[in-house]
């Protein structure tokens, strides 16, 4: 039996998340027949080397999606709004990492192990959640199902890679300037990020919250099917390159112990409990970077909630992987497994998979 | 009229906080007649240059406190437990920055602008609160007095200087190693602090909380005279040199708006409101470092609490200054102003104050 393979487009292929998408497709052995790399005019025409083969980056336009089965978008809200409907109209299933479609009632917003059933009957566009929300809702789901959740307070410690390549270079440059005793260059963020904590991620809304904080509120509700869930969030950028950390405080409906919570968390697919105070074992950004899992630790009862209905814990995950690229690919995997996406006409291509292949950076 | 002057001892004079104490005494023009610098055997005999004069560091022993009016301790819990009673027995008023005496019912635990009246009738030892607690309780006091506070959730972003000079050097060394492409040396903290967020400050208690987190709970209650205040805290070390940041979520008893909260915060002595989202103005560690004030911003209503009884905000303060040295000196100022400490026999010394004088590092 010949395994089906899919024509996959990656839109925003030269960005940090786009490149991680290509890497993750490869690592997970996703049945890619043809890989089509798309980007804006700025990057179109450049070449990236993957699996020993050169791929030319094509201009992302409606026609570029002809014959595409699955299109992974990570090109920002504007291109997603413009191009995703054009891709979907041509029969592609779009999995979009921008915020453009997330809160659209017609569009499923999916974390692969939390609400995969929401993918059924999708209208051709599927939204990939915000990175901060992604890692939060997996442990919350376990609590919701076992004891119910009433209120969540979450404060984030977010890596600069969530902003993109320019922000990685900015932190790197500021650190180098510090070591060299030179003045610090501030361009990407409104203030120096090196040796600082910036209580601003994305722009401000009229209610005083940042867009990032409000995404955590509204996206969590949608993914967890808890439209009235009470959520409070402060989102903070810290001088970390990769992986977001979160301090989470949950008020549950029924009583729960820390031990029971650890069991529940560990039973969630893709969640790893790292929790041994005696050996200073807890999730860390530097260790989570590069992994597809969500790490949970520092699980303890919160005595500030009566009746053993309070829990506090710490959640860390690679914001480029599970927080973006990996979940997008996992959504595609669910679609394939459940037959909710169909490969187009046979193209005779071999599945995109090879041992020991490096994903090249743009040439 | 001759202004009274005091013989002041600084115990732990070579440490990061001890040196800041000397600096702050100087900056604030505290009426120091004689300054006696004390430290452990390791540092005794060394010389520091202050105000153009060399001061020999003497061994901190009971006898070293003969004739001392005010002793500022920042030498850790062990020396404080051993030496503070010896100093107090000799008539010195001890202001202790360690955790040794803080939760002792007989010992006042004081933030200068929050509960100065607790100093009255002190037994010769006064405790200076933990740095994370210090900056938190000033804004909380304003809310307590106006609308009552029911529950506080606080997550911290703490600077390495809270651990001491070795931790500052560790972050510095790790950053230099990163830039040089060399392996990272991890000694002070259980894990790399550069480009990371460590959810462990101080050691773990049997209940799963760290000592730091539990200090925030118990010290806040004592200082605010709210023995049943419900507090939840996750304390996190971040790669920042100086100044702690805190994300705070408060459930108040009565309704309050963000505007009213800003007014209340701004009315507290030593609290500065920095809050203008339109210009990305909010408190920052890099800007608070070197200041004696507590900075509050990102003030907004928290819709996850019904009835307008929820507030979220961001608090930043220099952990070495208001979080330690400055508050200790401010306690001494209150004692002097209210006549709760007496200068010993006239020593004929001139007040310790000079223009443009650098406080020297240990020779």
Please list every residue in chain A whose beta carbon sits closer than 8 Å to the beta carbon of residue B188.
Answer: none
CB contact under 8 A, B301 and A175: no
- Quote the minimal CA–CA distance from B256 to chain A in Å: 15
Q: What is the 3-state secondary structure (H, E, C) of chain B?
A: CCCCCEEEEEECCCCHHHHHHHHHHHHCCCCEEEEEEEECCCCCCCEEEECCEEEECEECCHHHHCCCCEEEECCCHHHHHHHHHHHHHCCCEEEECCCCCCCCCCCCECCCCCCHHHHCCCCCEEECCCHHHHHHHHHHHHHHHHHCEEEEEEEEEECHHHCCHHHHHHHHHHHHHHHHCCCCCCCCCCCCCCCCCECCCCCECCCCCEHHHHHHHHHHHHHHCCCCCEEEEECCECCCCCCEEEEEEEEECCCCCHHHHHHHHHCCCCEEECCEHHHCECCCHHHHCCCCCEEEEEEEECCCCHHHCEEEEEEEECCCHHHHHHHHHHHHHHHHHCCCCCCCCCCCCCCCCCCCCCEEEEC
Residues 114-133 in B contacting A (C-alpha not used; CB under 8 Å): none
What pLDDT, on a 0 to 100 scale, did the predictor assign at position B152? 98
pLDDT, tens digit (0-9, with 9 covering 90-100), for A272-304 = 999 999 999 999 999 999 999 999 999 999 999
Q: Which residue has the tokens 């904590």?
A: A197
pLDDT at site B210: 98
Q: Which residues 240-269 of A have a C-beta within 8 angstroms of B?
A: 240-241, 245, 247, 249, 258
Say yes or no to pLDDT of B295 above 50.
yes
Q: Can you give the pLDDT at residue B53?
A: 76
pLDDT of residue A59: 95
Per-window interface: B 132-191 vs A, CB < 8 A: 151-153, 155, 157, 175-176, 178-179, 190-191
Q: Do A207 and B284 touch (CB under 8 A)?
A: no
- The minimum CA-CA distance between A323 and chain B, rounded to whole Å, is 17
Q: Which of A135, A199, A319 to mutate to test the interface with B (most CBs of B within 10 A)?
A: A199
SS3 state of residue A84: helix
Nearest CA in chain B to A282: B199
Mutant choice from B156, B172, B247 vs A, greatest count of A C-beta within 10 A: B247
Question: What phi, psi does A132 have (nearest 5°)?
Answer: -65, -35
Angstrom distance (rounded) from CA B7 to CA B341: 11
| Digit-coded pLDDT (tens) for A69-85 | 999 999 999 999 999 99
Distance in Å, alpha carbon of B307 to nearest chain A alpha carbon: 13
Longest dimension (CA), chain B: 64
pLDDT at B333 over 90: yes
* A54 or A178, greater pLDDT: A178
User: What residues of chain B lie within 8 A of the CB of A285, using their CB?
Assistant: 195-197
Q: What mean pLDDT is predicted for residues A125-147?
A: 98
Size of interface A-B (CB pairs under 8 A): 159
Contact by Cβ (8 Å): B236, B304: no
**Residues in chain B closer than 8 A to A191 (CB atoms):** 280, 284, 286
Please determine, for residue A24, whether its predicted confidence score (pLDDT) is greater than 50.
yes
- Given a contact cutoff of 8 angstroms between Cβ atoms, the answer to whether A273 and A297 are in contact is yes
The boundaries of every CATH 3.30.360.10 domain in chain B are 132-319
A354 vs A106, higher pLDDT: A106
Q: Which residues of A touch B305 (CB under 8 A)?
A: 230, 232
B332 pLDDT higher than 90: yes
Q: Out of B190, B278, B304, name the one closest to residue A232 (CB).
A: B304
A197, A283, A300 member nearest B238 (Cβ): A197
- Give yes or no for residue A107 having a pLDDT over 70: yes
Helix H or strand E segment including A85: helix A77-89
- Per-residue pLDDT, averaged over A144-153, amounts to 98
Nearest chain A residue to B288 by CA: give it.
A196
Determine the pLDDT at residue B354: 30
Quote the pLDDT of residue B3: 64
Higher pLDDT, B52 or B170: B170
For A132-319, the fitting CATH number among 3.30.70.270, 3.30.300.30, 3.30.360.10, 3.30.2270.10 is 3.30.360.10
- Cα separation, A221 vs A120, in Å, equals 19
Q: Which residues contact A308 (CB under 8 A, 6 or more apart)?
A: A255, A256, A257, A301
pTM above 0.90, yes or no: yes
Q: Is the pLDDT of residue A318 over 70?
A: yes
Q: Are A200 and A214 in contact (CB under 8 A)?
A: no
C-alpha angle A355/A357/A358, rounded to 5°? 155
Task: Give A 208-237 residues with CB within 8 A of chain B.
Answer: 208-209, 217, 230-232, 234, 236
Per-residue pLDDT reduced to its tens digit, B304-329:
999 999 999 999 999 999 999 999 99
Q: How far, in whole angstroms, is CA B259 from its chain's centroid? A: 28
pLDDT number for residue A19: 92
A-chain CB neighbours of B195 within 8 Å are 239-241, 285-286
Please judge whether A304 and B192 are an interchain contact, meaning their C-beta atoms are less than 8 angstroms apart: no
**Chain B residues 305-324 with a CB less than 8 Å from chain A:** 305, 310, 312, 314
ipTM (interface pTM): 0.93
pLDDT band, residue B49 (cuts 50/70/90): confident
Please give, rounded to a whole number of angstroms, the shortest distance from the CA of B259 to a CA of chain A. 11
Separation in Å, CA of B199 to nearest CA in chain A: 8
How far apart are alpha carbons A137 and A15 in whole angstroms? 26
Average pLDDT over residues A19-39: 95
Phi, psi of A43 (to 5 degrees): -105, -15
Q: Give residue B274's Cα distance to chain centre.
A: 21
Per-residue pLDDT tens for B100-141?
A: 999 999 999 999 999 999 999 999 999 999 999 999 999 999
pLDDT > 70: what percent of chain B? 94
User: Does residue B55 have a pLDDT over 60?
Assistant: yes
In this prediction, residue B343 carries a pLDDT of: 85
Is A178–B178 a contact, with Cβ atoms under 8 angstroms apart? Answer: no
The residue of chain A nearest to residue B154, with distances taken between CA atoms, is: A155
- Say yes or no for a CB contact (<8 Å) between A155 and B151: no
Q: Is B301 touching A (CB cutoff 8 A)?
A: yes
How far is B55 from chain A, CA to nearest CA, in Å?
31
Which residues in chain B are closer than 8 Å to A240, comparing Cβ atoms? 195-197, 239
Q: Is B54 exposed, middle or buried (0-12, 13-18, 19+ CB in 10 A)?
A: exposed
Which part of chain B is CATH 3.40.50.720? 6-101+342-362
Select from B196, B204, B284 the Cβ nearest to the Cβ of A191: B284
pLDDT at residue B363 tops 50: no
Residues 6+ apart with CB under 8 A from B358: none
Strand partners, A257: none
Predicted confidence at residue B348, as pLDDT, reads 34
At residue B163, the pLDDT reads 96
In this structure, whether the domain defined by B6-101+342-362 belongs to CATH 3.40.50.720 is answered with yes
Q: Name the residue facing B191 among A157, A284, A305 (closest C-beta).
A: A284
Contact assessment for residue B160 and residue B193, using Cβ atoms and an 8 Å cutoff: yes
B329: region left, alpha or beta (phi > 0 left; psi from -120 to 50 alpha): alpha
Inspect the interface and report whether the beta carbons of B314 and A199 lie closer than 8 Å: yes
Q: Write out the catalytic residue numbers of A.
A: 131, 244
pLDDT, one tens digit per residue, over B210-253 is: 999 999 999 999 999 999 999 999 999 999 999 999 999 999 99
Task: Answer whether residue B83 shows pLDDT above 50.
Answer: yes
- CA B282 – CA A248 distance, rounded (Å): 23
Looking at every residue in chain A, the average pLDDT score rounds to 92
Which positions in chain B touch A204 (Cβ < 8 Å)?
277-278
**Alpha-carbon distance B165 to nearest alpha carbon in chain A (angstroms):** 16
Q: What is the pLDDT of residue A3?
A: 64
């Amino acid at each position: 039996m010949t395994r089906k393979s899919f024509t996959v487009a990656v839109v925003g292929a030269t960005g940090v998340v786009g490149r991680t998408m290509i890497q993750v497709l490869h690592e997970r052995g996703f049945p890619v027949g043809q890989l089509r790399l798309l980007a804006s005019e700025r990057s179109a025409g450049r070449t990236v080397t993957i699996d020993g083969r050169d791929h030319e980056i094509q201009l992302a336009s409606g026609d570029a999606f002809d014959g595409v089965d699955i299109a992974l978008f990570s090109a920002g809200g504007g291109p997603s709004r413009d191009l995703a409907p054009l891709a979907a109209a041509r029969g592609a299933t779009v999995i979009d990492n921008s915020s453009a479609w997330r809160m659209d009632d017609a569009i499923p917003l999916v974390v692969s192990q939390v609400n995969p059933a929401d993918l059924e009957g999708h209208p051709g566009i599927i939204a990939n959640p915000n990175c901060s929300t992604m890692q939060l809702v997996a442990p919350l789901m376990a609590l919701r199902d076992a004891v119910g959740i009433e209120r969540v307070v979450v404060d984030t410690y977010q890596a600069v890679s969530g902003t993109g390549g320019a922000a990685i270079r900015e932190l790197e440059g500021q650190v180098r300037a510090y070591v060299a005793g030179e003045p610090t260059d501030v361009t990407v963020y409104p203030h120096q990020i090196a040796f600082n904590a910036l209580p601003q991620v994305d722009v401000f809304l009229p209610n005083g919250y940042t867009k990032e904080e409000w995404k955590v509120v509204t996206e969590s509700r949608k993914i967890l099917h808890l439209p009235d869930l009470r959520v409070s969030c402060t989102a903070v950028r810290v001088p970390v390159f990769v992986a977001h950390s979160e301090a989470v405080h949950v008020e549950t409906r029924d009583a729960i112990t820390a031990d029971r919570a650890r069991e529940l968390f560990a039973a969630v697919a893709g969640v790893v409990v790292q929790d041994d105070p005696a050996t200073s074992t807890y999730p860390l950004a530097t260790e989570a970077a590069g992994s597809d899992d969500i790490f949970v630790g520092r699980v303890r009862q919160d005595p500030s909630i009566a009746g053993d209905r309070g829990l506090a814990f710490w959640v860390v995950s690679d914001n480029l992987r599970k927080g973006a690229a990996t979940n997008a690919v996992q959504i595609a995997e669910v679609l394939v497994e459940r037959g909710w996406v169909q490969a187009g006409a046979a193209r005779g291509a071999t599945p995109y998979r090879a041992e020991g292949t490096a994903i090249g950076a743009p040439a």
